[in-house]
Amino acid sequence: MKNAIIGVVGSGVMGGGIAQMFAENGFQTMVWDTKEEFAVKGVANIRKRLDKSVEKGKLSTSDAEEIKGRIKIVKDLNDLASADLVVEAVIEDIETKRAIFNRLEKVLRPLAVLGTNTSSLSVTELAQNLSNPGRFLGIHFFNPPTKLELVELITPHALNPEALERAKDILSACGKTTVTVKDSPGFIVNRLLLPFINEAAKLVDEGVASPEEIDKAMCLGALHPAGPLQVADLIGLDVCRHILETLSRSLGSQMYKPAKSIVDLVDAGKLGRKSGQGFHSYPKG
């Protein structure tokens, strides 16, 4: 499957990470974003990450240059016509995503697979207006996609089994382990993880313990490799808030209402690692 061509729509934290992951695993990867400057910035960030890996001795200079050479910015969605798999990773807005899918349908070859990296929206709803819903599924990576092995494959009712197998084959060639999930709010990981994070944040709200003590307790007392608030900072507190609000609406439960500390931090622009401050501080470098 290494001769498959990959398209990635969106070049932010997740889109850029997904593009880098495919390129690192030998796939020619095309990157498109809603504005060309977004794609340029996203690919520049990929190059910086690769250069840092070279500096740390984790990657040779020649390997880094080969990976960079497999990533190409495209200016028009029509340029993705040769892709065998396209993964969408733009903002979590259903209308924005649907508009992109409708445009991609006119471009992609019949056997090309189209996936969305949505973390909270209904894959079935996203597919409603597609003329070929049989090739459309959720392909949910976890941050950072270059390191985390798991990918959730969300399977709406109309999905063609052959399209699912093609997606699995490509992801397997990248060393990923997949789990197949029915379309359901939060899928598996977020349905279980976000309430856990939210309860940890509620302990902060109630003054039960500091974020540092809460994370230490779960690492040492429950064998977690990272504490829930550290994980929240890694995901992005804005993303956590959005997923919790979506789960609350979808499942009709106040249990998922975001904790005050999450809301306050997001409102203050303290989004976690990506902003340098969340429940914990992350000095530059």
Residues 145, 104, single domain; the answer is yes
At 137 the pLDDT is 98
Are residues 136 and 160 in contact, defined by beta-carbon separation less than 8 angstroms? no
Residue 238 belongs to some domain of the structure: yes
What lies within 8 Å, CB to CB, of 85 at 6+ separation is 4, 5, 6, 7, 112, 113, 114, 115, 166, 167, 170
Residues 30, 162, single domain; the answer is yes
The pTM for the full model equals 0.91
Residues 91, 170, single domain; the answer is yes
Tokens of 256: 């998922």
At 49 the pLDDT is 97
Residues 46, 121, single domain; the answer is yes
At 32 the pLDDT is 98
Tell me, rounded to whole angstroms, the distance of Cα 74 from its chain centroid: 21
**Residue 133 belongs to what domain range?**
5-182
Residue 285 belongs to some domain of the structure: no
At 23 the pLDDT is 98
Q: Other C-beta atoms within 10 Å of 71: how many?
A: 25
Positions in the chain whose pLDDT score sits under 70: 1, 285
Residues 79, 139, single domain; the answer is yes
- Residues belonging to the active site: 119, 140, 152, 190
Q: Other C-beta atoms within 10 Å of 188: how many?
A: 16
Residues 44, 142, single domain; the answer is yes
At 285 the pLDDT is 55
Residues 54, 120, single domain; the answer is yes
In 126-150, which positions are buried (b, 16+ CB within 10 angstroms) versus exposed (e)?
bbeebeebbbbbbbbbbbbbbeeee
Residues 143, 63, single domain; the answer is yes
CATH code for position 210: 1.10.1040.10
Residues 73, 175, single domain; the answer is yes
Residues 160, 235, single domain; the answer is no
At 259 the pLDDT is 98
Among 154, 162, 264, 253, which Cα is nearest to 204's? Answer: 264
Residues 217, 143, single domain; the answer is no
Q: Which of 133, 150, 182 lies at the terminal end of a domain, its last residue?
A: 182
> What distance in Å separates the CA atoms of residue 19 and residue 8, rounded to the nearest whole number?
6
Beta strands in 146-253 (DSSP E): 150-155, 177-182
In 208-242, which positions are buried (b, 16+ CB within 10 angstroms) versus exposed (e)?
eeebeebbebbeeeeeeeebbbbbbbbbbbbbbbb
Residues 65, 144, single domain; the answer is yes
Q: Which of 161, 182, 203 lies at the terminal end of a domain, its last residue?
A: 182
CATH code for position 18: 3.40.50.720
At 281 the pLDDT is 97
In DSSP notation, 160-188 reads -HHHHHHHHHHHHHTT-EEEEEES-TTTT
pLDDT digits (tens, 9 = 90+) for 141-174: 998 999 999 999 999 999 999 999 999 999 999 9
At 2 the pLDDT is 72
Give the number of domains in the chain.
Answer: 2
Q: Which of 148, 182, 216 lies at the terminal end of a domain, its last residue?
A: 182
Cis peptide before 144 (omega within 30 of 0): yes
Tokens of 38: 């977004």
In DSSP notation, 26-70 reads T-EEEEE-SSHHHHHHHHHHHHHHHHHHHHTTSS-HHHHHHHHHT
